[in-house]
Protein backbone atom coordinates (compact mmCIF):
# COMPACT_ATOMS: atom_id res chain seq x y z
CA UNK A 1 0.00 0.00 0.00
CA UNK A 2 2.83 2.44 0.83
CA UNK A 3 4.51 1.57 -2.44
CA UNK A 4 1.32 2.48 -4.30
CA UNK A 5 0.98 5.81 -2.43
CA UNK A 6 4.61 6.72 -3.22
CA UNK A 7 4.01 5.91 -6.85
CA UNK A 8 0.84 8.02 -6.96
CA UNK A 9 2.68 10.94 -5.26
CA UNK A 10 5.53 10.58 -7.76
CA UNK A 11 3.09 10.60 -10.67
CA UNK A 12 1.34 13.66 -9.24
CA UNK A 13 4.66 15.48 -8.80
CA UNK A 14 5.59 14.69 -12.40
CA UNK A 15 2.22 15.99 -13.64
CA UNK A 16 2.51 19.15 -11.55
CA UNK A 17 6.06 19.72 -12.87
CA UNK A 18 4.87 19.21 -16.45
CA UNK A 19 1.99 21.65 -15.93
CA UNK A 20 4.38 24.21 -14.39
CA UNK A 21 6.67 23.95 -17.42
CA UNK A 22 3.72 24.39 -19.77
CA UNK A 23 2.56 27.47 -17.86
CA UNK A 24 6.05 28.96 -17.95
CA UNK A 25 6.46 28.35 -21.67
CA UNK A 26 4.54 30.95 -23.59
CA UNK A 27 6.14 30.72 -27.03
CA UNK A 28 2.71 30.08 -28.49
CA UNK A 29 1.82 33.65 -27.42
CA UNK A 30 4.74 35.20 -29.30
CA UNK A 31 2.38 36.96 -31.69
CA UNK A 32 1.11 38.92 -28.66
CA UNK A 33 4.60 39.98 -27.69
CA UNK A 34 4.58 37.89 -24.51
CA UNK A 35 7.59 35.82 -25.42
CA UNK A 36 11.18 36.85 -25.71
CA UNK A 37 13.85 34.32 -26.66
CA UNK A 38 16.39 35.10 -23.95
CA UNK A 39 18.86 32.32 -24.58
CA UNK A 40 18.64 32.31 -28.36
CA UNK A 41 17.71 28.62 -28.48
CA UNK A 42 14.03 29.07 -29.33
CA UNK A 43 13.25 25.41 -28.62
CA UNK A 44 9.70 24.53 -27.78
CA UNK A 45 9.24 23.66 -24.12
CA UNK A 46 12.74 24.85 -23.18
CA UNK A 47 12.03 28.54 -22.69
CA UNK A 48 11.22 30.63 -19.67
CA UNK A 49 8.83 33.50 -20.30
CA UNK A 50 10.65 36.81 -20.17
CA UNK A 51 8.22 38.15 -17.57
CA UNK A 52 8.98 35.37 -15.10
CA UNK A 53 12.73 35.46 -15.44
CA UNK A 54 13.56 38.43 -13.23
CA UNK A 55 14.25 37.63 -9.60
CA UNK A 56 14.96 40.50 -7.24
CA UNK A 57 18.76 40.34 -7.62
CA UNK A 58 18.47 40.00 -11.38
CA UNK A 59 15.90 42.82 -11.44
CA UNK A 60 18.33 45.06 -9.57
CA UNK A 61 21.15 44.20 -11.99
CA UNK A 62 18.85 44.77 -14.96
CA UNK A 63 17.74 48.13 -13.55
CA UNK A 64 21.34 49.16 -13.01
CA UNK A 65 22.15 48.28 -16.62
CA UNK A 66 19.12 50.25 -17.84
CA UNK A 67 20.17 53.24 -15.75
CA UNK A 68 23.76 53.11 -16.99
CA UNK A 69 22.64 52.95 -20.61
CA UNK A 70 20.11 55.73 -20.02
CA UNK A 71 22.91 57.86 -18.54
CA UNK A 72 25.01 57.32 -21.67
CA UNK A 73 22.07 58.24 -23.91
CA UNK A 74 21.47 61.55 -22.11
CA UNK A 75 24.12 63.32 -24.15
CA UNK A 76 23.05 61.83 -27.48
CA UNK A 77 21.08 63.96 -29.91
CA UNK A 78 18.05 62.16 -31.34
CA UNK A 79 17.84 62.33 -35.12
CA UNK A 80 15.13 64.44 -36.67
CA UNK A 81 13.82 61.37 -38.53
CA UNK A 82 13.37 59.46 -35.25
CA UNK A 83 11.73 62.48 -33.63
CA UNK A 84 9.25 62.68 -36.49
CA UNK A 85 8.50 58.94 -36.32
CA UNK A 86 7.98 59.24 -32.56
CA UNK A 87 5.23 61.80 -33.22
CA UNK A 88 3.17 59.29 -35.19
CA UNK A 89 0.64 56.87 -33.68
CA UNK A 90 2.15 54.18 -35.94
CA UNK A 91 5.52 54.36 -34.15
CA UNK A 92 6.99 50.84 -33.70
CA UNK A 93 7.62 50.41 -29.96
CA UNK A 94 8.89 46.84 -30.20
CA UNK A 95 12.39 47.62 -31.45
CA UNK A 96 13.38 49.77 -28.46
CA UNK A 97 15.10 48.70 -25.23
CA UNK A 98 14.04 50.08 -21.85
CA UNK A 99 16.84 52.68 -21.64
CA UNK A 100 16.02 53.86 -25.14
CA UNK A 101 12.34 54.16 -24.28
CA UNK A 102 13.29 56.27 -21.26
CA UNK A 103 15.30 58.52 -23.53
CA UNK A 104 12.41 58.76 -25.99
CA UNK A 105 10.04 59.68 -23.15
CA UNK A 106 12.47 62.41 -22.13
CA UNK A 107 12.42 63.65 -25.72
CA UNK A 108 8.62 63.80 -25.62
CA UNK A 109 8.79 66.20 -22.66
CA UNK A 110 11.37 68.31 -24.50
CA UNK A 111 9.50 68.38 -27.84
CA UNK A 112 6.24 69.38 -26.16
CA UNK A 113 8.22 72.18 -24.46
CA UNK A 114 7.13 70.93 -21.02
CA UNK A 115 10.71 71.10 -19.77
CA UNK A 116 10.94 74.73 -20.83
CA UNK A 117 7.45 75.85 -19.74
CA UNK A 118 7.55 74.20 -16.32
CA UNK A 119 11.24 74.85 -15.68
CA UNK A 120 12.04 71.15 -15.28
CA UNK A 121 15.74 70.45 -14.97
CA UNK A 122 16.74 67.50 -17.18
CA UNK A 123 18.45 65.55 -14.36
CA UNK A 124 15.23 65.82 -12.32
CA UNK A 125 13.13 64.64 -15.26
CA UNK A 126 15.54 61.79 -15.93
CA UNK A 127 15.41 60.70 -12.29
CA UNK A 128 11.61 60.84 -12.37
CA UNK A 129 11.41 58.77 -15.55
CA UNK A 130 13.80 56.19 -14.14
CA UNK A 131 11.73 55.93 -10.94
CA UNK A 132 8.66 55.31 -13.11
CA UNK A 133 10.62 52.53 -14.81
CA UNK A 134 11.59 51.02 -11.45
CA UNK A 135 7.98 51.05 -10.27
CA UNK A 136 6.82 48.68 -12.99
CA UNK A 137 6.88 44.93 -12.51
CA UNK A 138 8.20 42.39 -14.97
CA UNK A 139 4.84 41.11 -16.12
CA UNK A 140 3.59 40.26 -19.60
CA UNK A 141 1.30 43.26 -20.02
CA UNK A 142 1.21 46.03 -17.41
CA UNK A 143 4.92 46.69 -17.58
CA UNK A 144 7.17 49.58 -18.57
CA UNK A 145 6.79 48.81 -22.29
CA UNK A 146 3.02 49.17 -21.90
CA UNK A 147 3.59 52.46 -20.06
CA UNK A 148 5.74 53.67 -22.94
CA UNK A 149 3.22 52.43 -25.51
CA UNK A 150 0.35 54.37 -23.93
CA UNK A 151 2.51 57.47 -23.42
CA UNK A 152 3.78 57.39 -26.98
CA UNK A 153 0.28 56.88 -28.39
CA UNK A 154 -0.99 59.92 -26.49
CA UNK A 155 2.07 61.87 -27.65
CA UNK A 156 1.35 60.83 -31.23
CA UNK A 157 -2.27 61.90 -30.92
CA UNK A 158 -1.23 65.27 -29.49
CA UNK A 159 0.88 65.90 -32.60
CA UNK A 160 -1.61 64.35 -35.05
CA UNK A 161 -4.48 66.50 -33.75
CA UNK A 162 -2.27 69.53 -33.10
CA UNK A 163 -3.48 69.57 -29.49
CA UNK A 164 -0.46 71.51 -28.26
CA UNK A 165 -2.02 74.56 -29.99
CA UNK A 166 -5.55 73.84 -28.74
CA UNK A 167 -4.88 72.97 -25.08
CA UNK A 168 -3.09 74.93 -22.42
CA UNK A 169 0.15 73.74 -20.85
CA UNK A 170 -1.46 71.96 -17.90
CA UNK A 171 -3.85 70.06 -20.14
CA UNK A 172 -1.02 68.74 -22.30
Active-site annotation, residues: 142
Annotate 6-59 with DSSP letters as a single string: HHHHHHHHHHHHHHHHHHH--GGGGGGT----SSS---TT----GGG---HHHH
Burial class (CB in 10 A: 0-12, 13-18, 19+), 132: middle
Q: With CA atoms as reference, report the closest residue to 62 among 138, 152, 172, 159.
A: 138
Amino acid sequence: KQWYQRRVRGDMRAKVEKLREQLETVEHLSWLGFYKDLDGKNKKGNSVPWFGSKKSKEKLQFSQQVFQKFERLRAVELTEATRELLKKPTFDIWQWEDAEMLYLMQQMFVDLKLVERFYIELPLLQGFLFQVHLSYNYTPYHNFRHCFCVTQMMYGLIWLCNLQDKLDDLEI
